[in-house]
């Protein structure tokens, strides 16, 4: 019996908790997915309040430069194992806003992505196909975005710093090229942009 | 009503010219120093809805054109007559090399975010504005991004495409 | 012996800065508010837009008139049809295009269906925020029935690309009129259930009465339109003030309330939904036969004469306007959208949050009907 062999994988697959973060346009198709008609809860997908309780990050739609900072911080706060799915055509290669000065074009240069859902907007059934595909990847140990993040953290961090200049939070993983990856440093990221009326 | 308004405006302020377009729209061109006085005068006459403050970049003439679109709310709840809905496009031209203008937030409080946006995206400085801090943008650009000489496609190629993808 | 810190000795009369940031369970849309609080009361609030800024108006200057048409609808994700309408109106006015009679009726029916869908989405957001999960699930389900109608007519659930300069793209298919009537009957038949669970509920009254009050002078001073203004008593609706499409051909009334608080705004939304449904039935009866589209000259080589326009229409959130300048070429020279959420989210919200308690921030924000992509464009 498959699930007896790896109950850990079964627990990861059948209870994907999504971080509630409305990143872009795609948020318009998420309420239909999580409410009664298309009911994502029968797949185990449930939205939760904080990234500390989540293991699936659904990036719905285009990502602007300001949002990318929040996305990276949210991604780094999620505990492992964690999976990322890009929803819509815009995170894949810029989509309709390919010539905009304020949106990023390729999301997987900054955070690792396990799968993409194409479409503008994708239908709710596409979300469920993506979830079942993600189950297959988890079974075959191919949904390893978080492992790639740990391994190539220096490259990801360098890309993030090229885009933003000075990042306001310390690196998540300490530098150690050959030894086994260590646990995250445990710093809470500081918040950046503050606009207060003086 | 629009003709009488035209007469009054042109006689009260010098340098002001009002042209009537079709369909209850009219263009009022004014020098930049009398904008605040004209808006105050029109607000007393009943034009209390500042719908939009916009900016057009006429790069060939080396000028910015700031447009204030002014109309009125209803006088009372039963009168829907068309004469009330006269829209005035109050326009003024400022030089592109040193763009400065007096802010109208003293008269119309809701002009505040519009002027902030024009300052950020075009680089126009509004004197007397309570907070001219960035609204949308996260970083400073060499040329403010909505000007006609800012090439977005070149900027995208330089900034985003030059970042390498992480090979696995 | 525990150390008594300096802040503990000062007591609780200190100010904190809180971020109601983009990743928050109470935030619908990618928007952020920075608040200075003392205890539980907000002293000062600052809205932080910009998370969804794409530089839309700059991108429109790089695309021809007809290429802009699929882009424009993505500005307001909840009700993209009013954006298509305002762009079509502006191009028609600049180019001097005429729209056939039947197309006006089809456009009005289409826009009213979009308004019903958008209000149901707002009802989902608001009742979810307050904790009325049953009403939220029903509202989302009924909105899906409306989206099924859109899918049959245009091919897409969310982005329709249907209203374009010169008319609409295609006529109603066979039997579509009956489908509209059946769907609206099934939604309208549930209005007593909605009233019993949500609108007449004593808990909703206690949670929303007196919260986020905007009085008539403040509304006019801040440039508020839409439900925020109609809940203070003024019957200001662009469909009556400057009628477009077929709105002057049917009899209907503008619902208003008196108090200007969150309770009144949500009741205005409910009354508007019911009024829209009645309007669709009347329009379906009065619709004439004919063409729905006037051909534009070759859309790939279309130069529009010089000029400028400001057109406006009533979206589900308020007065939506477009100031467009043409330089005689095949691309817009400048397009500037006056979106209704701009004054609501940036000025009215900061004013309404002064003195409110932290628990009411989501309540006030959603009842003001702020849509974040409209602010940033």
Domain at A26, CATH number: 3.40.50.12280
Rounded to whole angstroms, the Cα distance separating A11 from A44 reads 10
Rounded to whole angstroms, the Cα distance separating C164 from C222 reads 32
Tell me whether residues A22 and C373 touch, CB distance under 8 A. Answer: no
Least confident of A83-87, B1-5, B145-149, C269-273: B1-5
Rounded to whole angstroms, the Cα distance separating C157 from C179 reads 16
User: Total domain count for chain A?
Assistant: 1
Query: Does residue C256 register a pLDDT over 60?
Result: yes
Strand duo C334-338 + B17-20: pairing? unpaired
Least confident of A131-140, C130-139, C297-306: C297-306
Return the residue of A nearest to C48 by Cα: A195
Tell me whether residues B166 and A152 touch, CB distance under 8 A. Answer: yes
Tell me whether residues A163 and B159 touch, CB distance under 8 A. Answer: yes
| pTM recorded for the entire structure | 0.89
ipTM comes to: 0.90
pLDDT at A3: 61
- What residues of chain B, 65 to 84, have a C-beta less than 8 Å from chain C? 67, 69, 73-74, 77, 80, 82
pLDDT at C140: 92
For A70, the domain range is 2-151
Task: Decide if A89 is inside a domain.
Answer: yes
Closest by Cβ to A109, choosing from B153, B156, B166: B166
pLDDT at C278: 92
Tell me whether residues B165 and A101 touch, CB distance under 8 A. Answer: no
Task: Decide if A52 is inside a domain.
Answer: yes
C244 pLDDT band (50/70/90 cuts)? confident
Query: Does residue C115 register a pLDDT over 90?
Result: yes
Q: For chain C, which chains pass the contact test of at least 3 CB pairs under 8 Å?
A: A, B
Return the residue of B nearest to C50 by Cα: B136
Shortest alpha-carbon distance between residue A40 and chain B (Å): 32
Least confident of B74-88, B108-122, C241-255: B74-88
Rounded to whole angstroms, the Cα distance separating A185 from A165 reads 22
Mean pLDDT computed over C277-301: 85
pLDDT at B156: 87
Return the residue of A nearest to C21 by Cα: A70
Does the CA dihedral A118-A120-A121-A125 come out positive or negative?
negative
Task: Decide if A189 is inside a domain.
Answer: no
Closest to B132 in 3D by CA, of B116, B143, B144, B147: B116
Mean pLDDT computed over C45-52: 88
Rounded to whole angstroms, the Cα distance separating B140 from B142 reads 7
Q: How far apart are the first and last CA of chain B?
A: 72
Least confident of A8-12, B116-120, C139-143, C169-173: A8-12
Mean pLDDT, all residues of chain C: 87
Shortest alpha-carbon distance between residue C194 and chain A (Å): 16
Task: Decide if A64 is inside a domain.
Answer: yes
Shortest alpha-carbon distance between residue C54 and chain B (Å): 10
Strand duo A17-19 + A46-48: pairing? parallel
Q: Give which of C241, C254, C307 to mutate to test B binding, by max B Cβ within 10 Å.
A: C241
Task: Decide if A190 is inside a domain.
Answer: no
Cβ contacts of C222 on chain B, cutoff 8 Å:
109-110
pLDDT at C118: 92
Return the residue of A nearest to B145 by Cα: A101
Return the residue of B nearest to A151 by Cα: B168
Task: Decide if A122 is inside a domain.
Answer: yes
The pairs formed by A135-140 with CB atoms below 8 angstroms and a separation of 24 or more are A135/A13, A135/A14, A138/A9, A138/A12, A138/A13, A138/A83, A139/A2, A139/A9, A139/A13
Cβ contacts of A197 on chain B, cutoff 8 Å:
131
Mean pLDDT computed over C230-259: 87
Q: Tens digits of per-residue pLDDT, C193-202?
A: 999 999 998 9
Closest by Cβ to B49, choosing from C223, C333, C346: C223
Rounded to whole angstroms, the Cα distance separating C53 from C88 reads 23
Q: Tens digits of per-residue pLDDT, C64-106?
A: 888 888 888 888 888 999 999 999 999 988 888 888 999 999 9
Cβ contacts of B141 on chain A, cutoff 8 Å:
101
Q: Tens digits of per-residue pLDDT, C306-364?
A: 888 899 999 999 899 999 999 888 889 999 999 999 998 888 888 888 888 888 888 88
Tell me whether residues C23 and A64 touch, CB distance under 8 A. Answer: no
Query: Does residue C1 register a pLDDT over 60?
Result: no
Tell me whether residues C55 and B152 touch, CB distance under 8 A. Answer: yes
Mean pLDDT computed over B48-71: 89
Strand duo C16-20 + C32-38: pairing? antiparallel
Q: Give which of B26, B28, B56 to mutate to test C binding, by max C Cβ within 10 Å.
A: B56
Tell me whether residues A193 and B138 touch, CB distance under 8 A. Answer: yes
Closest by Cβ to A121, choosing from C46, C48, C158: C158
SS3 assignment, position C254: coil
Cβ contacts of C93 on chain B, cutoff 8 Å:
23
pLDDT at A178: 43
Tell me whether residues C158 and A35 touch, CB distance under 8 A. Answer: no
What are the structure tokens assigned to C127, written together?
């009742």
pLDDT at B2: 67
C50 pLDDT band (50/70/90 cuts)? confident
Query: Does residue C295 register a pLDDT over 70?
Result: yes
Q: For chain B, which chains pass the contact test of at least 3 CB pairs under 8 Å?
A: A, C
Return the residue of A nearest to C156 by Cα: A121
Cβ contacts of B154 on chain A, cutoff 8 Å:
none
pLDDT in tens, chain A (198 residues): 566 778 888 888 888 899 888 888 888 888 899 888 888 889 989 988 888 999 899 898 889 888 888 899 899 888 888 899 998 888 888 888 888 888 888 888 888 998 898 888 888 899 999 999 999 988 888 888 888 888 888 888 888 888 888 888 888 877 654 444 444 444 444 444 444 433
Count Cβ–Cβ pairs < 8 Å, chain B vs chain C: 83
Tell me whether residues C124 and A35 touch, CB distance under 8 A. Answer: yes
Tell me whether residues C159 and A120 touch, CB distance under 8 A. Answer: yes
Shortest alpha-carbon distance between residue C147 and chain A (Å): 11
Contact status, residue C130 vs residue C207, Cβ threshold 8 Å = yes
Task: Decide if A121 is inside a domain.
Answer: yes
C137 pLDDT band (50/70/90 cuts)? very high
Tell me whether residues A22 and C74 touch, CB distance under 8 A. Answer: no
Q: How far apart are the first and last CA of chain A?
A: 64
- What residues of chain B, 21 to 50, have a C-beta less than 8 Å from chain C? 23, 25, 48-50
Mean pLDDT computed over C30-45: 87
Shortest alpha-carbon distance between residue C81 and chain A (Å): 14
Count Cβ–Cβ pairs < 8 Å, chain A vs chain C: 105
Q: Which is more confidently placed, C101 or B83? A: C101
SS3 assignment, position C38: strand
Taking CA atoms, A116 is separated from A26, A85, A152, in Å, by 13, 6, 20
B11 pLDDT band (50/70/90 cuts)? confident
Cβ contacts of C345 on chain B, cutoff 8 Å:
none
Q: For chain A, which chains pass the contact test of at least 3 CB pairs under 8 Å?
A: B, C
C277 pLDDT band (50/70/90 cuts)? very high
Shortest alpha-carbon distance between residue B63 and chain C (Å): 14
Return the residue of B nearest to A93 by Cα: B161
Shortest alpha-carbon distance between residue C139 and chain B (Å): 32
pLDDT at B81: 66
Task: Decide if A98 is inside a domain.
Answer: yes
Shortest alpha-carbon distance between residue B167 and chain C (Å): 28
């Amino acid at each position: 019996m498959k699930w007896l062999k790896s109950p850990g994988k079964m627990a990861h697959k059948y209870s994907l908790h999504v971080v509630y973060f409305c990143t872009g346009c795609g948020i318009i198709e998420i309420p239909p997915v999580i409410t009664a008609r298309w009911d994502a809860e029968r797949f185990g997908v449930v939205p939760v309040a904080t990234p500390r309780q989540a293991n699936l990050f659904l990036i719905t739609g285009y990502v602007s430069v300001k949002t990318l900072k929040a996305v990276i911080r949210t991604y780094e706060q999620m505990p492992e194992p964690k999976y990322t799915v890009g929803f819509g055509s815009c995170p894949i290669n810029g989509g309709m806003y390919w010539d905009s000065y304020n949106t990023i074009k390729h999301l997987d240069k900054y955070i690792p992505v396990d799968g993409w859902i194409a479409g503008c907007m994708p239908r709710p059934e596409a979300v469920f196909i993506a979830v079942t595909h993600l189950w297959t990847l988890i079974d075959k140990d191919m949904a390893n975005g978080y492992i790639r993040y740990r391994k190539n953290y220096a490259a990801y961090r360098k890309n993030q710093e090229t885009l933003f200049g000075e990042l306001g939070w310390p690196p998540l993983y300490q530098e150690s090229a050959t030894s086994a990856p260590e646990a995250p440093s445990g710093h809470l990221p500081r918040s950046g942009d503050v606009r207060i009326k003086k | 009503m629009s003709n009488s308004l035209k007469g009054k405006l042109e006689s009260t302020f010098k340098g002001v010219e009002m042209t009537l377009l079709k369909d209850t729209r009219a263009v009022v061109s004014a020098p930049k120093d009398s904008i605040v006085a004209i808006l105050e005068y029109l607000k007393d006459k009943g034009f209390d809805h500042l719908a939009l403050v916009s900016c057009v970049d006429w790069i060939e003439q080396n000028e910015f054109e700031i447009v204030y679109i002014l109309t009125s709310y209803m006088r009372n709840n039963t009168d829907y007559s068309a004469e009330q809905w006269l829209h005035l496009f109050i326009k003024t031209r400022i030089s592109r090399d040193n763009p400065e203008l007096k802010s109208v937030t003293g008269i119309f409080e809701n002009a505040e975010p519009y002027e902030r946006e024009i300052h950020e995206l075009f680089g126009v400085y509004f004197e007397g504005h309570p907070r001219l801090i960035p609204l949308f943008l996260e970083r400073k650009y060499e040329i403010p991004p909505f000007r006609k000489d800012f090439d977005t496609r070149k900027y995208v190629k330089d900034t985003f495409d030059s970042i390498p993808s992480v090979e696995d | 012996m525990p150390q008594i810190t300096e802040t503990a000795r000062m007591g609780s009369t200190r100010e904190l800065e809180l971020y109601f940031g983009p990743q928050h369970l109470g935030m619908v849309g990618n928007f952020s508010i920075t608040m200075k609080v003392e205890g539980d009361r907000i002293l000062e609030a600052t809205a932080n837009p910009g998370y969804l800024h794409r530089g839309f108006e700059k991108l429109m200057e790089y695309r021809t008139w007809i290429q802009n048409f699929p882009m424009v609808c993505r500005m307001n994700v909840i009700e993209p049809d009013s954006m298509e309408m305002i762009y079509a109106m502006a191009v028609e006015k600049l180019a001097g295009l005429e729209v056939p009679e039947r197309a006006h009726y089809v456009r009005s029916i289409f826009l009213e269906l979009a308004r019903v869908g958008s209000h149901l989405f707002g009802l989902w957001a608001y009742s979810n925020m307050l904790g009325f999960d049953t009403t939220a699930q029903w509202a989302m389900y009924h909105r899906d029935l409306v989206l099924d109608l859109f899918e049959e007519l245009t091919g897409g659930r969310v982005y329709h690309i249907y209203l374009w300069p010169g008319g609409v793209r295609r006529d109603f298919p066979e039997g579509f009129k009956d489908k509209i009537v059946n769907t609206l009957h099934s939604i309208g038949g549930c209005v007593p259930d909605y009233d019993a669970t949500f609108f007449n509920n004593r808990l909703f009254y206690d949670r929303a009465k007196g919260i986020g009050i905007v009085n008539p002078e403040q509304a006019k001073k801040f440039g508020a339109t839409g439900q925020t203004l109609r809940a203070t008593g003024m019957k200001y609706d662009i469909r009556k003030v400057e009628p477009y499409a077929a709105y002057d051909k049917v009899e209907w009334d503008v619902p208003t309330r008196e108090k200007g608080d969150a309770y009144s705004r949500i009741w205005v939304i409910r009354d508007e939904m019911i009024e829209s449904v009645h309007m669709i039935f009347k329009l379906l009866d009065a619709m004439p036969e004919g063409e729905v589209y006037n051909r534009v000259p070759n859309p790939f080589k279309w130069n529009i004469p010089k000029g400028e326009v400001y057109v406006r229409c009533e979206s589900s959130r308020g007065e939506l306007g477009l100031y467009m300048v043409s330089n005689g070429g095949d691309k817009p020279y400048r397009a500037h959208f006056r979106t209704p959420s701009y004054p609501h989210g940036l000025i009215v919200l900061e004013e309404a949050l002064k003195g409110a308690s932290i628990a009411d921030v989501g309540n006030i924000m959603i009842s003001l009907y702020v849509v974040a992509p409209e602010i940033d464009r």
